[in-house]
Amino acid sequence: MAAYVPQQIDVVSGEQYRYALTNFRIAHEKVEEQRRQLEEQEKQVALLRARIALLEGTANDEQQEGRHYGGSSVDDFSIKNAASQLERSINRWAADVVRAPPSALSEIHGAALGDITGSYDPVPYDPSPMQVQNILRHAMSEVIGSEIINNLVVTNSPEANVQLTRIHEHLFARNPVVACVWRRQTFSAAVETCDPEMTASILAETLPALTKVLGGSTSKTTPILASAYTFSRMLHGAPSPSTDVFYRSFVPEIGSILYPRQIELVRRCLKSERGEQDRVGATIFPGLVKVARGGVTTNEQNQETVHTVVRRAQVICECALASSGNVPMQG
């Protein structure tokens, strides 16, 4: 029969036990204090949102939205949906121009590329219809991004809209929640549609050569900018789950490096598949980012601005663009 081996028991001194117990109690109290602070913070945020809803007159709407999902609020899904519809409108316009060009395709391509880059030197190749269509989509994307989405188009005066955009930037830098309330209240009094004169002014200023080559008529582009304005109003004026964010667009420049987190390739990129670096051939629709300030601090003006990509820019790379014609790729 095996001999009995007594088990060894770890024994700590009374002083060590009391020390460990004290540390545990202190840690527990700190965790409990943090929990109470978080609960209080959530209560304050809920009260603030209720106050904002009351000021905006949307308190009843938000209660309805709590019972029936959707309503007039804007979320990432509805944004992507509306963006896809606008993207299709731009593509149809570009395809129609290429199908029945008012000028030579080389002239249209040169004018669009010149308006985009600022250099109107003739290109050393004959662009294909696909290349012209994509450069037209890039040109329209820049107009929509810089002039419609990134500007608060509230009135039919471009100068007034610029001033309102600056006021919003100043408010957002100081207090994002106040800026959100101001922006929604401002858009509640915005014009329903853009004046045709302002639309023509935007195109003449941003795409002067292309507008001239296309015959100076804005009848084909006005519906696109009207849809872009509706999209912008949805982004900036509709209630959203967050009361301290706003949206901005970005258009990757032609020839810039491809960044996977910011762009989505619409065609296969052979260079990237080989592990080689490729560049942007054309951006066919802007990307969208949600701009917010960092976590709650005692000094709100010191908060870091955070950009979250909601919808990546739709891009065709240089190698894919070159495969449809004789475009020389950058090294």
Strands (E) across the chain are located at: 245-250, 263-265, 280-285, 287-293, 305-311, 313-317
The dihedrals phi and psi of 233, each to the nearest 5 degrees, come to -65, -35
For residue 120, the model assigns a pLDDT of 85
Question: Strand order in 313-317's β-sheet?
Answer: 263-265, 313-317, 280-285
For residue 48, the model assigns a pLDDT of 74
The pLDDT tens digits of the residues spanning 239-261 come to: 666 667 789 999 999 999 998 88
Helix (H, G, I), strand (E, B) or coil at 197: helix
Measured CA to CA, the distance from residue 129 to residue 104 in angstroms comes to 11
State pTM to two decimals.
Answer: 0.74
For residue 326, the model assigns a pLDDT of 55
Structure tokens at 238: 């509709």
Question: Which H or E run includes 290?
Answer: strand 287-293
For residue 59, the model assigns a pLDDT of 53
Structure tokens at 7: 């088990």
Low pLDDT (below 70) residues in the chain: 1-12, 17, 21, 24, 28, 49-74, 217-218, 239-243, 294-303, 325-331
Measured CA to CA, the distance from residue 86 to residue 81 in angstroms comes to 9
Crossing angle for the helix pair 196-206 and 158-174, to the nearest 10 degrees: 80
Helix (H, G, I), strand (E, B) or coil at 311: strand
